[in-house]
Structure 1
Amino acid sequence: MLVVLRDAWATAVPDRKDRHGSLPPLMLALTVVTGLVDAFSYRGLGHVFVANMTGNVVFSGFAIAGAAGFSLDASLDALAAFAVGALLGGRVARGARAHRGRVLHLALVVETVLVLAAYVIAQAATTPYAGTSQYVLIALLGLAMGVQNAAARALAVPDLTTTVLTLTITGIASDSRATGGSGGKAGRRLLSTAAMFLRRPHRRRHRPARGPALPLLFAAMLLAAATIAAFTLTWSDAAWTDPT
Structure 2
Amino acid sequence: MTTHGFSDYVAHPRHGPLPMILLAVTVVTGAIDALSLLALGRVFVANMTGNVVFIGFALGGAPGFSLWGSVLALVGFLVGAMVGGTLIVRAGGRRDHLLRNALVVEFVLALTSLIAAILMVDGPGRGYVIVVLLALGLGLQNAAVRHLAVPDMTTTVLTMALTGIGSDLRKRDGAAVLRRLSSVVAMFLGAILGTVVVLHSGVVATLVLVAALFAAILVVVWAVGRRERPWQVAA
TM-score by structure 1 length?
0.87
Any conservation in 2 of the 1:41–1:48 contact (CA below 8 Å)?
yes
SS in 1 for 2:201: coil
Any conservation in 2 of the 1:79–1:142 contact (CA below 8 Å)?
yes
Any conservation in 2 of the 1:83–1:146 contact (CA below 8 Å)?
yes
Match of 2:210 among 205, 208, 219: 219
Match of 1:172 among 165, 184, 190: 165
Q: Give the AA of the match of 1:115.
A: A
Q: Distance in 1 between matches of 2:106 and 2:80?
A: 9
Question: Is the alpha carbon distance of 1:203 and 1:156 closer, same or farther for their aligned partners in structure 2, counting shifts above 3 Å?
Answer: closer
- 1:138: Cα distance to partner? 0.8
Any conservation in 2 of the 1:118–1:137 contact (CA below 8 Å)?
yes
Q: Distance in 2 between matches of 1:86 and 1:60?
A: 20
Detail structure 1 runs of 4+ shifted over 3 Å in the superposition.
6-11, 123-127, 201-204, 233-236
Q: Show the 5 A alignment for 1:1-244.
A: 3-4=2-3, 6=4, 9=7, 14-15=10-11, 17-127=12-122, 130-176=123-169, 179-198=170-189, 199=191, 200=193, 209-244=200-235
Q: Distance in 2 between matches of 1:97 and 1:233?
A: 18
Q: Give the AA of the match of 1:153.
A: R
Aligned identity (percent) is 44
- 1:188: Cα distance to partner? 1.7
Gapped regions of structure 2 (runs ≥ 5): none
Any conservation in 1 of the 2:34–2:194 contact (CA below 8 Å)?
no
Any conservation in 1 of the 2:34–2:195 contact (CA below 8 Å)?
no
Any conservation in 2 of the 1:100–1:241 contact (CA below 8 Å)?
yes
Q: Give the AA of the match of 2:108.
A: V
Any conservation in 2 of the 1:63–1:72 contact (CA below 8 Å)?
yes
- 1:181: Cα distance to partner? 4.2
Q: Give the count of matched residue pairs.
A: 232
TM-score by structure 2 length?
0.91
Structure number with higher helix proportion? 2
Q: Give the AA of the match of 2:227.
A: S
Question: Is the alpha carbon distance of 1:133 and 1:7 closer, same or farther for their aligned partners in structure 2, counting shifts above 3 Å?
Answer: farther
Question: Is the alpha carbon distance of 1:228 and 1:209 closer, same or farther for their aligned partners in structure 2, counting shifts above 3 Å?
Answer: closer
Any conservation in 1 of the 2:32–2:210 contact (CA below 8 Å)?
yes
RMSD of Structure 2 on Structure 1 (CA): 2.1
- 1:115: Cα distance to partner? 0.9
Q: Distance in 2 between matches of 1:212 and 1:9?
A: 37
SS in 2 for 1:20: coil
Any conservation in 2 of the 1:107–1:151 contact (CA below 8 Å)?
yes
Any conservation in 2 of the 1:175–1:182 contact (CA below 8 Å)?
yes
Any conservation in 2 of the 1:8–1:191 contact (CA below 8 Å)?
no
Question: Is the alpha carbon distance of 1:105 and 1:203 closer, same or farther for their aligned partners in structure 2, counting shifts above 3 Å?
Answer: closer
Show CA shifts across 1:169-222 (max 9, x none). Answer: 11111111xx23433322221111011012336559xxx932333222222111
